[in-house]
Amino acid sequence: MTANAAVAIAHANIALSKYWGKREGSGNYPAVPSLSVTLAGLATRTRVTFDGAAENDAFTLDGQVAAPAARARVVEMLDRVRRATGETRRARVESSNDFPTASGLASSASGFAALAVAAARAAGLDWDAARLSDLARQSSASAARSLFGGFVELPAGPPMPDGSETLSARPVAPPGHLPLVVFVCVTTEGPKALGSSEGMRKTMAESPFARAWLDEAPRLHARLRGALLASDFLELGELAEASAFAMHASALAAGVVYWTGATIDVLAAVRGLRAAGVRAYATIDAGPHVKVLARHEDAPAIGAALRDCPAVRRVIEARPGEGASLAGGEGGAE
């Protein structure tokens, strides 16, 4: 029997070596490789129901009808699933985040990973994680990584070594590989000014440092991957900071500014910790928040210092977690 409904859960991920910039042309292929850690917190739960009586696809997020632009990206993925199966029914997509959606914390990665898993299953597809990762990537490249748990990499786009057009993320190390804690320091509430797709498009088109970033990112990625596999936290932290700073330097030079004063204050707090001999490292995505990397043993001191920092409104403490999965048993249907 073809399932009509399925529910999936996926978690956000934080890139340690950043994806910033796409290959030219269609298909949403990243121009550089990236490596992330999937977090146990920050989850999206999505139910997809293909309904013969529905006239249009409908998308609600945290119980509210989503904005047209957000709905359009959901419909694009549903269309890909419909093309793969011959499914013609419209779908109801009900999504909820267990973190404040409007906080500007990245939610597209967990959102599109959960949607890929739920939509494919609801349409009767039994795709493996690699194929679902490729499906998620076409909507949002960082979402490809949330299909897998622990430490995950997404290679750069074509030409692919095997000549194929699919591009999936792949696990590099399991969640327990490093005793890592990620402190998500929320600096401002409210949605971010410029989405990452537009931010990277502007960077590639206008930044005098775009070429420097595209050349440097794969080198940083390779070194960071090596540091991860060697369980060298200090090297990993240095390289994660270097990747974030290089990405933001290229963006800044195109007038793409995600930082606020609070972002810089948290960066100063992290440097202050390091000056005092405490090993904390920072990374920043397409928004004002700072994510701080720590080892388990240093986490209490680092967490306390970050909570004391006036620029920090809230701290979410997260650890490496599992990849996306169906909820509510085997079929994901509830």
Contact residues toward ligand DP6 (CB under 6 A) are 15, 18-20, 28, 34, 106, 108, 140-142, 196-197, 285-286
Beta-carbon contacts of 278 under 8 Å, excluding residues fewer than 6 positions away, are: 298, 301, 302, 305
Q: Which is nearer to ligand DP6, 141 or 333 (CB)?
A: 141
Q: How near is the Cβ of 86 to ligand DP6 at its closest, in Å?
A: 27
User: What number of other Cβ atoms are within 10 A of residue 90's Cβ?
Assistant: 18
Is there a contact between 302 and 278 (Cβ–Cβ < 8 Å)? yes
Is there a contact between 194 and 328 (Cβ–Cβ < 8 Å)? no
Q: Which is nearer to ligand DP6, 121 or 145 (CB)?
A: 145
Q: Which is nearer to ligand DP6, 101 or 197 (CB)?
A: 197
Q: How near is the Cβ of 44 to ligand DP6 at its closest, in Å?
A: 14
Q: How near is the Cβ of 268 to ligand DP6 at its closest, in Å?
A: 21
CA distances from 93 to 45, 118, 238 (A): 10, 9, 40
CA separation for the pair 207, 200 (Å, rounded): 10
| DSSP string covering 149-165 | -SEEEE---SSPTT--S
Q: How near is the Cβ of 30 to ligand DP6 at its closest, in Å?
A: 7
Q: Which is nearer to ligand DP6, 288 or 332 (CB)?
A: 288
Using DSSP bridges, classify how beta strands 58-61 and 90-97 pair: parallel, antiparallel or unpaired: parallel
Q: How near is the Cβ of 286 to ligand DP6 at its closest, in Å?
A: 4
Q: Which is nearer to ligand DP6, 33 or 175 (CB)?
A: 33
